Chains A and B, each alone.
Chain A
Amino acid sequence: MKPTSITSCEEAIRVLAEHLDHELGGRLEAELNAHLETCRSCCSRAEFERELKARIRGLGAEPLDQDVAGRVQALLRSFADTPTP
């Protein structure tokens, strides 16, 4: 599945997600970086996917309503009476 060497745009795109996830590493990472420096189309694609990933990451924080915070505080207080084994 994964190419052993980046010699085409198709192979670059195949490992792009792992590169953006900081999971590629090694020789493929170096080869992909070299490809991105010289290929405008793959470079634009990398920018696009990176931005989309950043937008999705922005969904992380969830506004806490008072009920949830209060319930968790009560739960934590109850643990004081049930020490860990």
Chain B
Amino acid sequence: MCDPMSMATEAVRSSAQHAWFSDEVQSLLPKLYGAAVKLCRDRTNAEDLVAEALTRAWAKLPTLADRGTFQGWLFRILTNVYISQYRAARVRPEEEYLGVDAENFSIFERIHQPILLWWGNPEQEFFDGLLRSDLQAALDSLPEPYRSAVVLVDVYELSYRDAGAALDVPVGTVRSRLSRGRALMQKHLWQYAGPGHGPAQGKGERE
């Protein structure tokens, strides 16, 4: 244990490990911080969340078997910290029936009408008028547990399985949260960025 030779080897390994960890974290940071901002909806809390997740990740690094899975592993830790925080705050997001209109809301069904198709391409016009800030507001409007499912799968492209592991729920729950979350997002977009709002205004009159 106190053999100076093995302690020196230990120090070298640890410093190589530290350099590797630092490099990986720095390259993933914009993504990691982005996910934290989307989960917390607040930059200060997001910074604290990232710091806490990185501290845990460094402590748990020896349990990471395959370095190729680092990104998913780090996202899972971030999500776990986030979930444990809102649990600690006694916020208990529940799956709830949102009503038939919200559960199935589809922008496509609203705009893909024969009468509108006469006048051009309503889908394209919808996208032309859609701003990044509209999308961000729609995502922020989602309550938990729907927001984290949409953030992980739609923004960060996790598989249902990985999202389920990160959120500690079965794949079927990920699927239903996504479905409700996306419908709610579309409803929000329709209300705030649909035809008749912002840059999309007066589309019908344009030649």
Write the nearest CB–CB distance from B184 to chain A, whole angstroms: 13
Question: How many contacting A-B pairs (Cβ < 8 A)?
Answer: 107
Contact of B51 among A45, A72, A82 (CB under 8 A): A72
A66 near B: Cβ within 8 Å?
A: no
Q: Which residue of B lies closest to A41 (CB)?
A: B112
* Cα–Cα, bound, A64→B47 (Å): 11
Indicate the member of A58, A75, A79 with the most B CB atoms within 10 Å.
A79
Instruction: Flag whether B150 is at the interface (Cβ < 8 A).
Output: yes
Beta-carbon contact of B31 and A60 below 8 Å: yes
With beta carbons under 8 angstroms apart, the residue of A17, A57, A68, A82 that contacts B157 is A57
Checking B17, B30, B130 against A61 with a beta-carbon cut-off of 8 angstroms, the contacting residue is: B30
Q: Is A4 an interface residue (CB 8 A)?
A: no
Cα-based distance from A83 to B15 in the complex (angstroms): 8
Q: B32-40, B73-81, B94-102: which lies at the A interface?
A: B32-40
Q: Is the CB of B150 within 8 A of A56?
A: yes
Chain B residues touching A, range: 35 or more
Residue B200 lies at the interface, judged by CB distance under 8 Å to chain A: no
Contact of A72 among B29, B123, B159 (CB under 8 A): B29
B173 at the interface (CB under 8 A from A): no
Cβ of A44 under 8 Å from chain B: yes
Cβ of B139 and Cβ of A59 under 8 Å apart? Answer: yes
* 10 closest A-B pairs by CB: A62-B34, A83-B14, A76-B22, A56-B154, A48-B108, A84-B61, A79-B58, A60-B155, A45-B108, A48-B123
Measured CB to CB, the residues of B under 8 A from A are 14-15, 17-18, 21-22, 25-26, 29-31, 33-35, 37-38, 43, 47, 50-51, 54-55, 58-59, 61-62, 107-108, 112, 123, 127, 130, 132, 135-136, 139, 150, 153-157, 159-160, 175, 178-179, 182, 185-186
> Which of A's residues lie within 8 Å of B, judged by CB?
17-18, 21-23, 41, 44-45, 47-49, 51-53, 55-64, 67-69, 71-73, 75-76, 79-80, 82-85
7 contacts between A and B (CB under 8 A): A17-B179, A44-B123, A48-B108, A57-B157, A64-B29, A68-B50, A82-B58
